[in-house]
Amino acid sequence: MKTASRTFLVTGGASGLGAACSRRLVGLGANVIIADLNEATGRQLAAELGSQAQFARVDVTQADDVQQALDLASKAPGGLRGVVQCAGIIGASRIVGRAGPHELELFNRVVQVNLVGTFNVLRLAAAMMASLPAEDDGERGVIVNTASIAAFEGQIGQAAYAASKGGVASLTLPAARELARVGIRVVAIAPGIFETPMMGQVSPEVRESLTRQIPFPPRFGLPEEYAALVQHVIENRMLNGTVLRLDGGARMEPK
């Protein structure tokens, strides 16, 4: 799919991986709806990117929020042709810790945002894109979801996060198979350890431990590198129904 003069919704688009995707898509000539809960940061980024970007305050778990952002996208040039889902939370906790068992409310919250929120955006966006005129090869749109290598090698303390991202990974193929009939592709990217605001909170000791688990390059990934793969997924029609690891060869240790 071409990016120029098309409109893309980027959830979690105000910071980290999402902000890098917003910037890259605008740089490629696309229009972007920056969907995020952080209104101040989102509006600042939209102002920085200019007339091709608009901000929408969105809680991905709320259908009304998502639909309003999609309606905004539908009115932008080219209509909604793509979604990049970067909204997510971590919520680390041991199943049985010093204070007792894992809080069920925390587990529910992580799964609700990371998995249910992803599905909520996917279902509503797919319904909108399915009604658009088909482009080359019958394509109507592309949806890029964010999983994680924790879906495959979740560490101790990542039960909720790994379960939620495992769900995103498992959602990819059935969604792609079903939406193929209307020309919508679905791909997930499973990033490893990236330089994001969430990772900026870890201690130097944890950072060093994580870096040792990355064969090459021996550093955290850059959001721009994630955005570059998103661009390739959008542009390459043969990428569909798969989960792409972007991790420098990292395989996470138990802790």
Enzyme catalytic residues: 161
List for the chain the helix, strand, coil content (%; round to 5): 45, 20, 35
The 3-state DSSP class for residue 190 equals: strand
- Paired tokens of 153: 């090698």
What is the C-alpha separation between 142 and 233, in angstroms, rounded? 8
Write the CB contacts of 3 (distance below 8 Å, at least 6 apart in sequence): 25, 28, 29, 30, 82, 231, 234, 235
What is the C-alpha separation between 40 and 17, in angstroms, rounded? 17
Residue 186's alpha-carbon distances to 173, 189, 251, in angstroms, are 8, 10, 25
Residues facing residue 145 across a β-bridge: 85, 188
Residues facing residue 96 across a β-bridge: 101
Please state, as a whole number, how many other Cβ atoms lie within 10 Å of the Cβ of residue 250. 22
What is the C-alpha separation between 163 and 147, in angstroms, rounded? 10
Crossing angle of the two packed helices 39-49 and 16-27, in degrees rounded to 10: 20
DSSP 200: G
- Paired tokens of 8: 């893309």
